[in-house]
Chain A
C-alpha cells in the first residue's frame, strides 16, 4: 500500500503531461489557439484519477500475475468511461444527442492512446540508453551499487 501511494504522484504527472499534450493537439486541430485556464485544473483532476488507476492496473501492488493485455483493459475501459463523464461535467462535450459526438470521442480516445504509446516508446528508448550505459560501467568493473 505504501508503494502504491508513493507511485501515484509520478503516474499522475505522466497522465497530466500526456493529457495536456493531447488536449493541446485537439484544440489546435479545431483551429483554437487559446485554452481557458480552468482547463488545467480540470485536466489535473482527471489526471489524479488516471494516475491512481494507472498504478492500480500497471503496478505490482494489486495485480501481480496478470498479462499486459488484461492490464490494458483494466486501465482503458474504466478510464474511458470516467474521461467521458468528466468531459460532460466539464462541458468539453455538449452535444450528447448526436451520435457523431460518441464516434468522435472514441476516435480521440484511440488517437490519444496511440500518442501515449509513442511517447512511452521514446521515453523507454532514452532510459534504455542510460540503463545500457550503466550496464557497460558494471561490465567494465566500474561504478555499481555492489557491496
Chain B
C-alpha cells in the first residue's frame, strides 16, 4: 500500500482520497476508521452517581458488560457507559481495545503484564494491579495481534 502525503497550505480543509483496485477488508478498515475518527477521539460519555462525565479513551482500563449494562473502569473509578459492548468493540477495534471474553473488552495500552494460565487462558494484570482473564476463545487473537504466533487453541 502506498501512502502519499501532500502538504498544501492553501487547502480549505484536509482531504483524504482512497484509491483502490478492489474494495477489500483493509480498505474497509481505513474507511471505517476515518468515518469514526471524531467519535473515537471524543472518548466516552459516562455516568456516575447521577452525573455525566467525559472520559478519554486512554483513561479506560477495561469495559465490562453486567446485566445488560456497560461499565467502564478507570484506574480508580467505575462509570456506566451509554453504549453496548459490541458497539465499542466495533468502533474501537482499530485502536487498542480488544475483546478478551464474552463480557469484557480491555485497553491493551493499559495492561501491565501478561502470563499464560492453566487451560489456555491468559492472566492480565492491569496498570492498577487489577487482574483479568483472557478466555481460551480470545487468547489466540491477542497472540496474533502481538505477533506471538496466534491461531492455536
Which residue numbers of A lie inside 8 Å of B, CB to CB? 3, 6-7, 58-61, 64, 68, 71, 120, 123-125, 127-128, 130-132, 134-135, 137-139, 143-147
Contact of B147 among A3, A64, A144 (CB under 8 A): A144
Contact A125 B118 (CB under 8 A): no
Contact B117 A132 (CB under 8 A): no
Which of the four size classes fits the interface of chain B? 20 to 34
Contact B147 A135 (CB under 8 A): no
Shortest A70–chain B CB gap in Å is 11
Is B41's beta carbon under 8 Å from chain A?
no
Contact of A131 among B109, B137, B148, B150 (CB under 8 A): B148
Contact A143 B147 (CB under 8 A): yes
Shortest B55–chain A CB gap in Å is 20
Could you list 12 A-B pairs, sorted by A, with CB under 8 Å? A3-B153, A7-B153, A124-B115, A128-B115, A131-B116, A131-B148, A135-B146, A137-B146, A137-B147, A144-B145, A145-B144, A145-B145
Residues of A within 8 A of B119 (CB): 58, 68, 71
Name A138's closest neighbour in chain B (CB-CB): B146
Residues of A within 8 A of B29 (CB): 147
Contact A7 B114 (CB under 8 A): no
